[in-house]
Chains A and B, each alone.
Chain A
Amino acid sequence: MNAIGLLIILLLLSLLVVAGKQGLKTFLGLILNFALIFVLIILVNWGFNPYLVTAVISLLILSVAIYLSAGRARVMAIAWQTSVVVIILVGLLACFTQYFAQVQGYTLENSDELEGLSLNIGLNFSHLVIIVMIISALGAVAEASMAITADLFEVIERSPNITVESLSDHAQTIGGQILGTAINTLFFGMLGANIPLLIWYLRLHYTLAEFINAKLLVMEVATMLLGMIGILLSIWFSTFLVERGYQREGRKLLHESDV
């Protein structure tokens, strides 16, 4: 039996035991998102406009990530709106970043993997950079906006007479905490993913100048920073939407959620 297959079965069983039906939905969500990434790759490979494809697929991935998780309908709606706006902004920042830093493609460090491959494939790698940056941020943005929105709804539910100002104070505190943990997740995820590359740079005695300008490393660090900016924007915008909703609808905000 294949080791990865075994672990996937174990994951499914654990999800079912720990979270029951919600666990099954999470598993389904992962499979769906994996399939969506496949579709993205295939369409880009066929020569469709990479930006259009990424926009559509990102919307779908966000929807899967948000609507297949647990929570109130209204929380999901706010998280979704936030994520869409934030991903558009992150995408714009990614375009700027790629324009100025030109981190596309490979370098001599990749010679081993690239051996025997034709590199002149007629597909501009600078588009692919933007795809990678946007897709990398999707998960973090969805998570942060769901977390802050759900927590704020909880605050409203628990304290019946909360004023908008007091809600805003709570949002500051909770937002700060979520920012801290979410940024840590992204940071460790990125560190974990890049150990071989960092070791490579250290082994070959790169100078500081080469290190901070290296194409591959700047690509990784920029992707991480964009993700972190995305997290912050999500918290910011979700808070704004919840506060505005509470101001306009008061406690009715909670009632609509029993759908």
Chain B
Amino acid sequence: MKRQLGRIAIILLATVLAYFIGRFDSFLYQNPVGQVVSIHQTTEQATTDEFDNQDAQKTQDLTIKLLNRSNQTIKIQNQVMESQTMTTNYRVGDQILLKKQGGDYQIDTIKRDSTLLALTVMLLTSVRVYVKRKKTNFLMLSLLANAVLFVLALFVDVHVKNLPVVPWFILIAVVLSALSLGLVLGRTKQARITLYATIVTTALAVSVMWLALKLTGGLGVHFETMSFVTQVPAPIFYAQAIIGVLGAVMDEAADIVAGLFGLHRESQHRPFEDYWRAGLSVGREILGTLTNVLFMIFIAETIPMVILMLRNGNNWSYILDQVMNLGILQTVVSAIGIVWAVPVTSVMTAWLLQHRDEEEAVK
């Protein structure tokens, strides 16, 4: 118990330290960064919109000390709504990124890097404390490599004209999964069969979505409701579906393959049936909770928008169509992938292990 408390203390200390380091990094910024030193709140005014939503507006006179510009202080006025949909309620001590426009300073956004750094450090130190050293390095390396690769892939997508978006992301998906499996499991047969099962299942799940869209003529699916659209939305949605399904299926396939290889190590020369049944039973245990993981991620994101739409007098069927549509589609496709991964992985692994047994028998 004492050891546990010591560990927790280390983690908290590292987190707090990271936060404060983040607060002192404004010298790295090219644009001006300021800190709110005092606030004078002037007026508060009740507002009512056309749907009878009661809100309040207030005006803050902020005195901001520039941190990376000779400690000069400036004054900026900020309007803030109680609901803070677009506006931010500043407090003394907040650090703010500023923009200079026509001689006047304007607020760009709150400086959030210190919070992000603190959370990252918290995760890293906790993982460090919990898992043995070498393994952590590989896990973190794989995350970092994946993130970098992914941003590069997006960069290519943005800068290459007439890029075939879906094939490009399929390629990226294969590379990403090979990379993370290789780094977490090593260059083993186990990693290879997990990779194949992941690719086959993801391909099947996304193809069935494509087929369903073709059969129904895309009825009830509104790609045009996608947020932040800067290019044709449908291919981007396919890319999203591929990447989203991939992670969950990889998790599941790795579990099933590991279970079957364990069985093989315990006693060899089992019939195909044994492996197949064992694979299905491992898979059945995990598919329920796994479908919930992605479901929660995809649906949680839509909550603020749904509430905003409700308060704007929209009815549920319109909201389901406009806000939750793509989230639901993505959940369903991922769930199909997660379910299909069970038989696909079981068959592939059972086949491989049985053949291996036969080869060994011949020798």
Q: Is the CB of B127 within 8 A of A188?
A: no
Q: Is the CB of A213 within 8 A of B300?
A: no
CA distance A118 to B314 in the complex (A): 12
Q: Is the CB of B108 within 8 A of A232?
A: no
- 6 further A-B contacts with Cβ under 8 Å, apart from A6-B216, A106-B86, A187-B247, are A29-B292, A101-B116, A118-B312, A177-B258, A192-B247, A212-B116
- Interface residue? B119 (CB, 8 A): yes
Contacts A29-B292, A117-B309, A202-B158: A128 and B304 contacting too (C-beta < 8 A)?
Answer: yes
Show the binding face of A for B, using Cβ within 8 Å. 1-8, 10-11, 14-15, 18-19, 22-23, 25-26, 29-30, 33-34, 37, 40-41, 44-45, 61, 65-66, 68-71, 93, 97, 100-107, 109-110, 112-113, 117-126, 128-129, 131-133, 135-140, 142-143, 146-147, 150, 172, 175-177, 179-193, 195-200, 202-203, 207, 209-210, 212-215, 218, 221-223, 225-229, 232-233, 235-236, 240
B4 CB, min distance to chain A CBs, angstroms:
8
Scan residues 239-267 of chain B and give those whose CB is less than 8 A from a CB of chain A: 239-248, 250-251, 254-255, 258
Q: Is the CB of A189 within 8 A of B244?
A: yes
In the complex, residue of chain A having the shortest beta-carbon distance to the beta carbon of B151: A198
Q: Is the CB of A213 within 8 A of B111?
A: yes
Cβ proximity bits B198-211 to A, threshold 8 Å, 1 near / 0 not:
00000000001100
**Which A residues lie within 8 Å of B236 (CB)?**
195-196, 199
Scan residues 132-155 of chain B and give those whose CB is less than 8 A from a CB of chain A: 132, 135, 139, 142-143, 146-147, 150-151, 154-155
Contacts A2-B220, A41-B303, A180-B184: A142 and B292 contacting too (C-beta < 8 A)?
Answer: yes
Q: Is the CB of A232 within 8 A of B298?
A: no
- Interface residue? B53 (CB, 8 A): yes
- Interface residue? B54 (CB, 8 A): yes
Scan residues 292-330 of chain B and give those whose CB is less than 8 A from a CB of chain A: 292-301, 303-312, 325, 328-330
- Interface residue? B70 (CB, 8 A): no
**Which B residues lie within 8 Å of A143 (CB)?**
286, 289-290, 292-293
**Which A residues lie within 8 Å of B112 (CB)?**
100-103, 212-215, 218
Of the candidate stretches B36-44, B227-235, B269-277, B355-363, the one touching chain A is B227-235
**Which B residues lie within 8 Å of A22 (CB)?**
284, 288
Of the candidates B30, B84, B250, the one whose C-beta lies within 8 Å of that of A209 is B30
Q: Most chain-A Cβ atoms within 10 A of its Cβ — which of B4, B218, B307? A: B307
Contacts A188-B244, A210-B108: A105 and B287 contacting too (C-beta < 8 A)?
Answer: no
**Which A residues lie within 8 Å of B309 (CB)?**
117
Of the candidates B114, B131, B332, the one whose C-beta lies within 8 Å of that of A4 is B332
- Interface residue? B49 (CB, 8 A): yes
Contacts A14-B340, A103-B112, A120-B47: A185 and B251 contacting too (C-beta < 8 A)?
Answer: yes
Q: Is the CB of A189 within 8 A of B304?
A: no
Q: Is the CB of A3 within 8 A of B336?
A: no
Interface size on B, residues (CB 8 A): 134
CA distance A223 to B239 in the complex (A): 21
Q: Is the CB of B209 within 8 A of A192?
A: no
Give 9 nearest A-B pairs by CB, closest first. Answer: A188-B247, A192-B244, A2-B220, A69-B288, A139-B296, A192-B243, A139-B293, A120-B55, A135-B300
B128 CB, min distance to chain A CBs, angstroms:
10
CA distance A137 to B88 in the complex (A): 25
CA distance A4 to B42 in the complex (A): 52
**Which A residues lie within 8 Å of B116 (CB)?**
101, 212, 218, 221-222, 225
**Which A residues lie within 8 Å of B243 (CB)?**
188, 191-192, 195
Q: Is the CB of B250 within 8 A of A132?
A: no
- Interface residue? B110 (CB, 8 A): yes
A77 CB, min distance to chain B CBs, angstroms:
15
- Name 12 interchain pairs, CB-CB below 8 A, sorted by A: A6-B216, A10-B208, A11-B335, A18-B339, A30-B331, A123-B307, A147-B255, A183-B139, A189-B248, A189-B298, A222-B119, A225-B122
